[in-house]
Structure 1
């Protein structure tokens, strides 16, 4: 694994070797990594060099530490490219994962002033208030709060939103979704979010707000989501 004559730093060789073992499935999520001492003795290198490699893998999310127990292989993050407007259900199915949801709230409420402006409706106009935990292969990925004008999208039921909401809107109501504006911020989980996502309070999350629009210019939805930062990452291709 280690070529001391290589121009590549030794710590970088260790990083790439461990990544390759993870990719091949030889190291699986939850597996305990050999100790720094074991690596150092096996390859006759310093523990400081091993620690530098492990620290980099931890910072990249490939490994995690438990005090007094060791360093373990982390679950792989779900990657979502920010190149097209798709639903959570469509994203998970495209990755060969089973999407599901737990409905926490489904009701029609009057839109307060700020929300009404975001949705382009009159203040106190009827709005679906939908709160769901979104799962991939039974693992909680996001806590999602969706607001939809009830006069625009009619006939929503709990059964419908348990499937793909976008499919119902486009196929059953014949409304055409055009695009969305999406903002992503780093945040930490509050008590409600930590309980829903099964993470510790104060754990890092990705807070996302998406405003989605129809081809006729109407605002379809405002969605506020808290994604687990340890299981989700977003990718974007940027051209000069």
Structure 2
């Protein structure tokens, strides 16, 4: 192989490890520092630094004297929310479940009135649920769906919002997402089992039909230490 500087290889090793652990089941061991160092022709210190970064990102955990393993709760999230969080958890080798589902009628919060192109008093469905990864709560989601577009919305246990809308003849063709850091409020803290004021990653998704009509807005708040946003760009 062509030798490069350790700095370049350090980033190369991190990306290689990301690819390796993506297809491993939870708690599976990753290759040893020594084997990785031999493979890339670098010092164990360079490999150790790459692994330490992934430990910090909660993708890997270490056990003294035994080695490094894939984290059982870290979700390597991409921009492809269209697949749904349940599918992404399965792809990470985790056992997904949805609990504490509540579906009721609500007033749409003001920030979402214009994006959904609704009147301020238009009735909407409010869907609240908690996603769990192998039993551990990781995300609290609240979705708002115009009742005029889906008058008889019904959610089966464990069913994703996209599946429920599809059953109503509504196909989501495009989504936009926005993320920002927030602090856990009382409801979020209770449902996700974190202290009030804990760091939370909030992502807001807008779903659109093929003709460009807004179909829903969904706000998910995820425990920051269990969420990795991974976006690949082709330059």
Q: TM-score, normalised by structure 2?
A: 0.68
- Rate the CA distance shift 1:83–1:222 in 2: closer, same or farther, 3 A: closer
- Rate the CA distance shift 1:234–1:112 in 2: closer, same or farther, 3 A: closer
Provide the rounded CA distance (Å) in 1 between the counterparts of 2:216 and 2:113. 11
Matched, 1:225 2:216: no
CA deviation map 1:196-239 (0-9, x unaligned): 11223333221111111111221111111111121121211112
Note the C-alpha offset of 1:137. Answer: 1.7
Provide the rounded CA distance (Å) in 1 between the counterparts of 2:92 and 2:230. 15
User: 1:128 maps to which residue?
Assistant: 125
Note the C-alpha offset of 1:54. Answer: 9.5
Q: Secondary structure at the match of 1:167?
A: helix
Q: Secondary structure at the match of 1:146?
A: strand
Note the C-alpha offset of 1:73. Answer: 7.8
- What root-mean-square deviation, in Å, do the aligned CA atoms of Structure 1 and Structure 2 show? 4.0
Aligned with residue 115 of structure 2, among 118, 122, 130: 118
CA contact (8 A) 1:116 1:124 kept: no
Provide the rounded CA distance (Å) in 1 between the counterparts of 2:81 and 2:158. 22
Provide the rounded CA distance (Å) in 1 between the counterparts of 2:100 and 2:147. 18
User: 1:42 maps to which residue?
Assistant: none
Q: What number of residue pairs does the alignment pair up?
A: 204
User: 2:184 maps to which residue?
Assistant: 189
Q: TM-score, normalised by structure 1?
A: 0.67
Provide the rounded CA distance (Å) in 2 between the counterparts of 1:150 and 1:132. 19
- Rate the CA distance shift 1:8–1:111 in 2: closer, same or farther, 3 A: closer
User: 1:85 maps to which residue?
Assistant: 82
Q: Secondary structure at the match of 1:143?
A: strand
Q: Secondary structure at the match of 1:90?
A: helix
Unaligned runs of 5+ in 1: 1-6, 30-51, 65-71
Decide which moves more: 147-156 or 192-201.
Answer: 192-201
Matched, 1:238 2:205: no
Matched, 1:164 2:160: yes
Note the C-alpha offset of 1:179. Answer: 0.8
Larger radius of gyration: 1
Unaligned runs of 5+ in 2: 29-48, 63-67
- Rate the CA distance shift 1:190–1:146 in 2: closer, same or farther, 3 A: same
Aligned with residue 92 of structure 2, among 78, 85, 95: 95
- Rate the CA distance shift 1:169–1:63 in 2: closer, same or farther, 3 A: same
Provide the rounded CA distance (Å) in 2 between the counterparts of 1:58 and 1:167. 34
CA contact (8 A) 2:57 2:225 kept: no
